[in-house]
Amino acid sequence: MAQLLLVGNSRWHWAEAAAEGWRCWHGPPPTPGQPPAWDQLRAWAAVGPLPAGCAPPPQCAIGLGQVPLADLPPWLGIDRALVGWGAWHAEGAAALVADAGTALSLTWVDGDGRFRGGRISAGAALQRRSLAQATALLPAPQAPAAPMDWAAADPWPLDTETALQQGCWRATAAAIALGWRELSRLDPDPRRRLWLTGGDGEALAPLLEAEGLAPQWAPDLALQALAALPAVGLLS
C-alpha cells in the first residue's frame, strides 16, 4: 500500500492508502541512523530537517516544480505550496489557508489558482517558549499545554500560566481573523473559503468561530494535496 510523508519542523506527517480510505498519523522524527522502512513510500516532501541517516529515497521527493500552483516564488516552503494548492484544488475557489503548527502561516490563493502572498508568524507554542527564553520572570512551559476549554476558561485570568496560554492562543487566532478580514476588504470574492490546518488548528477553531468566521477544518490538507498532485496521482 502506498505511503506519503511530509517532514515538518517538529513532527513527521504520514498517510497510508488503505481499502477503507486514507489513514493519517503524526509523530516525532525517527532516531538518527534508524530510518523507517521506505519500501512503501510513494512520495515525500520536507520543510523541516532530516535526521542524519534518515533521508527518504530521493527519487520519491516532491519539490515546488511539481505543485501546479501558478506564480509560485522559488523561496516558498513546500508545505505552504501544498496546502494552498490543495485548498484551491478541492473547490476551485479562492482560499486563505491558515496552517497553525510550529509556525503560523497564512497563504492566499486567488480564484484562478495563483499564489498571491501570505504571512508567517510564531505559532502558539513557539510564542510561549520564546517568552520564557526572552524574559526573566515568565516561566518555561513544563509540558505541552492541552487545548483550553474556551467556553469555561476565564479570558482574563489572574495567574501567570493561564495568562500566557490565553495570550498566545488568542494572539494566534487574532492573526488569522485579522488576515481574513483584511483580505475580504482587499478582494471581496464571495467564494473564498478560510481553511484551517496544522496541529493547533482544531483548538483554534472555536476562537475563530466566536469571531464570526467559519473555518474549514482540514487536518490532513497537506497530505491530501500531496496525494492529489499529478506527479503522484493517488487522488483525483
Active-site positions read 79
> Which residue from 53, 50, 77 is spatially nearest to 64, judged by alpha carbons?
77
**115 touches 130 (CB < 8 A):** no
Coil, strand or helix at 118:
strand
Q: Could you tell me how many helices (H) and strands (E) the chain has, helices first?
A: 5, 9
Bridge partners (DSSP) listed for residue 61: 44
The C-alpha cell of 91 is what?
Answer: 473547490
Alpha-helical runs (H) found in the chain: 78-91, 124-134, 160-186, 201-210, 221-228
> How crowded is residue 198: how many other Cβ atoms within 10 Å of its Cβ?
24
Closest CA to 6 of 200, 194, 225, 230: 225
DSSP string, 49-64: PPPTT-PPPGGGB--G
Distance CA 40, CA 19 (A): 15
Q: Which residues contact 20 (CB under 8 A, 6 or more apart)?
A: none
In terms of Cα–Cα distance, which of 82, 98, 117, 7 is closest to 232? 82
